Structure 1
Amino acid sequence: MRHQTLTLAAVVAIAAATTWMQMTPATAAESEETVKQQFIGHYELVSFIQYPASGGEVDANYIGRIMYDEHGHMSAQGMPKDLPARAAQTTELVRGGFAYWGPVTWDVANSRVTHHVEGSPTRGSWVGEDNVRYYEFTDDGLLKLSIRDDDGRTTGTLTWRRIGG
C-alpha cells in the first residue's frame, strides 16, 4: 500500500510539473503585463522611511511624485518638506531631494522594478545607472518601493498613493 501511495504521489507531482512547465511562459508574460498595467499612473509620496544600519527607522519627511506611463517609462521627483523654508533663510542655493527619469523593466518573479536612469538634474552620477526597487501593492491600494543594499538589507521604503483617475 505504501508503494502505491508513493507512486500516485510521484505521478501527481510529474503531472503538476509538466503542466507548470507548459504554462510558465504564457503565464509569466500575462503576469508581467498585469503588473505593468497595475503600475501605470501618477502617485504622490505618502512616506519615505529610511532604515539605518544601526537599527530603527527614520522618516525622511519628504514629499514627491512618481509616474509610470503606458510606454514603459517613469519619472520621479522628491524633496524634503522643509526645503522651501530652508531656502527662504538664505540667498545661497539650497539643494535637496531627487529627480530622474528613464525606461522601466520588471522582474515579476522577484517583485522587482528597475528604473534605468536616462537623466537626473539632481543626481548626475545616477545617469546610466539602474535604480532597483522591490515593489509591493498593498490591500489598501498603496505602492511600496523598497531599496536594498548589496547585502539585501532594506535601507529605505517609499510608499506611494495613486492620484487622479
Structure 2
Amino acid sequence: MRPLLLITAAFAGSMVLILNLVGQPVDAADDPQLAAVKKQFVGHYELVSFISYPAGGGEVDNNYIGRIMYDEHDQMSAQGMPKDLPARAAQTTELVRGGFAYWGPVTWDVSQNKVTHYVEGSPTRGSWVGEDNVRYYEFTADGLLKLSIRDDSGRTTGTLTWRRIE
C-alpha cells in the first residue's frame, strides 16, 4: 500500500505544480506584445468623459472628473467624482458622497484587449475590495485611452475616456 501512496502523493504534487504553471500570467519579458502594451499604459491620465449606456438604449454623460495612474510595477489607482459634488456639498452640512476611488495590481490580456484591476483598497466602494474591475481597452489614434465596462452578456455598459497628462 505504501508505494501506491507515494505514487499518489507524487502525482498530486506534480498536478499542483502543473496547475500553478498554467495559472501564472505571462511575463512581459517573454511577450514583446504584452511589454509594448504595458509600456503604453504607464503614466498619469485625466478623465475626459464617463458615458453610461443604459439597457434601454441611449447614453448618459455622468459628468465626471478624475485621474487614473498605471506604474511600471503593474500597479494602478483611480479616482473619479461628479463635477458638481463640491457644489452639492456646499448646500448642506450632511456628508455628501459620490464617485469612486480604488487601487491595486493590474494585469493585461492582450489577445482580448482586456485589463484587470484587482481592487486591494477602496475608501468609497468597500464592496469592491477583493473584486476584479475588468475593463476592455483601446488606444485611439489621437492618444486617448478608452476603458469600457461590459456586463455578463458582453454588452458595453459604460466607457471612461482618459487623456495622458504630460
Aligned counterparts of 2:29 and 2:51: Cα–Cα separation in 1: 34
Q: Among residues 126, 135, 143, which one is paired with 1:141 in the alignment?
A: 143
Task: Indicate the residue corresponding to 1:18 in structure 2.
Answer: none
Task: Indicate the residue corresponding to 2:10 in structure 1.
Answer: none
Shift of 1:26: 9.4
Secondary structure (helix, strand or coil) at the match of 1:146 reads strand
- The letter of the residue matching 1:126 is W
Structure 2 residues not aligned, in runs of 5+? 1-26
Aligned counterparts of 2:73 and 2:29: Cα–Cα separation in 1: 21
Secondary structure (helix, strand or coil) at the match of 2:73 reads coil
- The letter of the residue matching 2:109 is D
Q: What is the TM-score with the length of structure 2 in the denominator?
A: 0.82
Structure 1 residues not aligned, in runs of 5+? 1-24
What is the aligned residue count?
140
Is the Cα contact below 8 Å between 2:44 and 2:69 reproduced in 1?
yes
**Seq. identity, %:** 83
Task: Indicate the residue corresponding to 1:12 in structure 2.
Answer: none
The answer on 1:155 being equivalent to 2:124 is no
- The letter of the residue matching 1:41 is G
Q: Among residues 46, 50, 53, which one is paired with 1:51 in the alignment?
A: 53
Task: Indicate the residue corresponding to 1:78 in structure 2.
Answer: 80
Secondary structure (helix, strand or coil) at the match of 1:47 reads strand
Superposition map of 1:7-156 within 5 A: 29-156=31-158
- Compared with structure 1, are the counterparts of its residues 26 and 89 closer, same or farther at alpha carbon in structure 2 (3 Å cutoff)? closer
- Compared with structure 1, are the counterparts of its residues 158 and 28 closer, same or farther at alpha carbon in structure 2 (3 Å cutoff)? farther
- The letter of the residue matching 2:49 is S
Shift of 1:85: 0.2
Q: What is the TM-score with the length of structure 1 in the denominator?
A: 0.83
Please give the per-residue CA displacement for 1:107-160, whole angstroms capped at 9, x wherever unaligned.
000000000000000000000000000000000000000000000000000000
Is the Cα contact below 8 Å between 2:76 and 2:117 reproduced in 1?
yes
- Compared with structure 1, are the counterparts of its residues 118 and 49 closer, same or farther at alpha carbon in structure 2 (3 Å cutoff)? same
Secondary structure (helix, strand or coil) at the match of 1:155 reads strand
